[in-house]
Amino acid sequence: MPSSTTIYAEAKTGVFWDVEDCPILNGLDPASISQNIKSALANQGYRGEIEIKAYKEKKTIRNDFQLAGINLIIAGDRHGRFKAMFEQMRFWMIENRASNVLIISRDKTDHTPYLQNWTARNYNILFAEPENPPEKCCNCRAPLDKDKPLEPIIGSAECESKCGTEPNIENEDWVWTSLAMGGGPLTKTKK
């Protein structure tokens, strides 16, 4: 939890949410999830402006995301969503120095190799993922759940970590169901 004296307490927070990987829970809608995310962040001391972008495979019939103030991006399959999320996240971070970034996705290890350098540039990286994210092969990082692994993004740093280690990003981690309901993070960890 950031203290009120940290630069992150009042900083803007960009939320990048893969709706296919972390779907809307039964009984909730985009508006209630948006409010719950904002409440969860406020309860952890993040009081700055919050902007939410959601990534889906196909367009929805109703306009619930827009009505909730969420920018909905239709980006196709998992690879398309990852690429769109990463590119927009990078542009958002350039425009919003010393800010918080909350990534809601199926597996944070998809993102950590690309974000490790951003933490050194005064960005606070937060994650939310499903309770049971897919296991990864320790040699090639391919998901063991039979999904095709994500390909590296051109122009981003490759992960130099070896089997059994992950890039060093200090962050707060949420389980998606807890965050969607406005709950707190698991613990503050150093990975």
Per-residue pLDDT tens over the stretch 5-49: 588 999 999 999 999 999 999 999 999 999 999 999 999 999 999
Euclidean distance between the first and the last CA atom of the chain, given in angstroms as a whole number? 16
| Residue 2 located in a structural domain | no
Please report how many Cα atoms fall inside a 13 Å half-sphere around the Cα of residue 97, on the Cβ side: 1
Q: Has residue 175 been placed in a domain? A: no
> What three-state secondary structure class fits 125?
strand
| Cα radius of gyration rounded to whole Å, the chain | 16
Dump pLDDT digits (tens) for 85-125: 999 999 999 999 889 999 999 877 776 677 777 776 788 99
Q: Which two tokens stand for residue 92?
A: 């958002």
Give φ, ψ of 166 to 5 degrees.
Answer: -125, 160
Give a yes or no: residue 184 inside a domain: no
Separation of alpha carbons 188 and 171, rounded Å: 6
Number of domains forming the structure of the chain: 1
Residue 13 belongs to a domain: yes
183 part of a folded domain: no
Residue 188: inside a domain, yes or no?
no
**Domain housing 129:** 9-18+46-108+115-133
